[in-house]
Amino acid sequence: MRAGRVLAAVVAAAAAIAAGGTIATQVNRIAAPVSADHVHQRPADRGAPERVAIPSIGVDADVVPVGLEPDGAVQTPDFGLAGWYEPGPRPGDRGPAVLLAHVDSKASGPDVFYRLHELRPGARISVRYHDATVTFSVTKTEQVNKSALPTGHIWGATKRPVLRLITCGGKFDQAAHSYLDNVIVYADLLR
């Protein structure tokens, strides 16, 4: 799926930046400074996140861990699943946790994050673990060109537990078989 590969390349670039490196993408070369705050210490293990629910847009999907492909691109989850970027924080842990999913596919239609662009401040996002649920409140939703991915905002150093949701969006480029933009949702943990 070409749209998924482009999303994966964009997310991989941001992940590489957060890890202190740079990566060439199909769009451009992205580089950013990294501070020691990006180093993540995990609290007591509660396992991996299992489900994500966003009632206001009808999302209730299994979450699977994803890492990096051999080429440095972030793995994308299969259709119908959300992916948690496992090298980063878990949702609810200190730092920016990232979940990604496809917006749609030509063969199967709308996917998990099809309506992500509709989220508004105050909407609730719940991430379930085997014995706990953490809930976030949306603070902002933005759509940006893939060449201008705001990596500093997505993976910016923070000591607070925050969540970022990412998918493709905007116009679809038929020739490239890819969306031109990314939709990014920012959310803070409710206490």
Backbone angles phi, psi at 105, to 5 degrees: -145, 150
Query: Do the bridges between strand 95-100 and strand 82-85 make them parallel or antiparallel, or are there none, so unpaired?
Result: antiparallel
Q: Which DSSP letter does residue 112 get?
A: T
pLDDT tens digits, one per residue of 87-107: 999 999 999 999 999 999 989
More confident residue, 55 or 39: 55
pLDDT tens digits, one per residue of 28-44: 222 222 333 333 444 55
Residue among 109, 97, 125, 113 at smallest CA distance from 182: 113
From 35-49, 73-87, 90-104, 118-132, the region with the lowest mean pLDDT? 35-49
Q: Cα separation of 68 and 54, whole Å? A: 26
Query: Do the bridges between strand 95-100 and strand 161-173 make them parallel or antiparallel, or are there none, so unpaired?
Result: parallel
User: Would you list the domain boundaries of the chain?
Assistant: 2-33+46-189
Q: Cα separation of 151 and 136, whole Å? A: 20
Q: Which CATH superfamily is domain 2-33+46-189 in?
A: Sortase (2.40.260.10)
